[in-house]
Each structure stands twice: as C-alpha cells, then as structure tokens.
Amino acid sequence: MTLSKYASVLVSLFVCTLLFTAQSSAADYQHSVTADKMRFDWSINGDVLAVKLTAPTKGWVGIGFNPSKKMKDADFIVGYVKGGKVSIFDEFGTQATQHGQDTKRGGNNDVTVVGGSEQGKQTTLEFTIPVKSGDSLDATLDLQGDTVVLLAYGPDRDSTRMKHTYHKAMIVNLSNGSVKE
C-alpha cells in the first residue's frame, strides 16, 4: 500500500470514528430541551437521572428541581470547568434567592461527575444523581409526573457565588420529555 493510500485510509477511519462518537454521545440521552441558548439533555437509567447541561458561558452552569418558592427548597446541581477540571456541587435552596452546598448543611453530595468541557465560550457538564437519594436536602424526582426545573448559568467566571446572568423555570415530565413553560 502506498503512503498516500495509507494516509487516506487513516483519515477515513478517523472521520468515521468521530461521526460514530458524536452520534453515540448524542444518543446517550433520551430527552432534550433547549431554553433560549441553554440546553438540558437527560435520560432515566433505573433509579438514576443522567444529565447533560450546556450553556454559552465560561462560568458556572446549573439546574434545580422542585422549588417551593423561587429557589427555596430546590435541589440544585451547580458546576463549572476550570483548567480542564470539572467541579460539580450538590446544593439546596435555603431562601427564595439563595442556595448552598448540601455538605455544609448536614447533607450529602449525591452527584456523580461524568464529565465536562469548556470550549470557546461554552460550558458543558455531565453528571448523574439518584432519583431518590434519601438525603433530606435532595428532591425526590417524580418520574411519572411533572417536575419544576430551574435552568441557569452565570457570567464568565468560575465561581458559583456569582449571580446568574440567565435563568428559566419550566415544568418537565422527566419520563416522556414533555415541557410546559
């Protein structure tokens, strides 16, 4: 085989691998919703919710479940990517406009980090959480009914103390993917 044919075969294999990886990555999630420029992808795998969040920021990205009023009592998952390292925190809505880490309030960190990236001005986080963790600071997710979902991202700084520059509330049925805004 000549060098040019060998190079051509290698390039073809590389392109096929990239396409397969992109398709299988997108297929990992059963449902997706885009709210303005932020995207929430998810799948239910038994008693675990797998989540992928993508937002146009170099700062933090987050999601909350089932608040009682604004952010109060919501189960939040907030994180960022800094220097290639993914940091994701399990938090609880302590007030209508405030939240903090579960571990600082006697709860547990029930998030499993799957991955994340920061490319250009876009941050992506991937993680799993239990549907029912048993932690009093985590929401029990109703897979058959509606769940209030809060989506947000912050400015281009890797600090979860920075107020969001974008937020959106919606009602999502996690099992069938239907969305009410």
> What's the average pLDDT block by block, 10 residues per block, for the chain (181 residues)?
48 38 56 95 95 95 89 84 92 66 73 94 95 81 90 79 79 93 77
pTM over 0.85: no
* Per-residue pLDDT, 16: 39
Q: Is 137 left (phi over 0), alpha (psi -120 to 50) or beta?
A: alpha
CA–CA distance, 5 with 2 (Å, rounded to integer): 5
> Hey, what domains does the chain have and what are their CATH numbers?
30-180 (2.60.40.1210)
Q: How far is CA 39 from the centre of its chain?
A: 9
* Per-residue pLDDT, 21: 37
The answer to whether the beta carbons of residues 117 and 24 sit under 8 Å apart is no
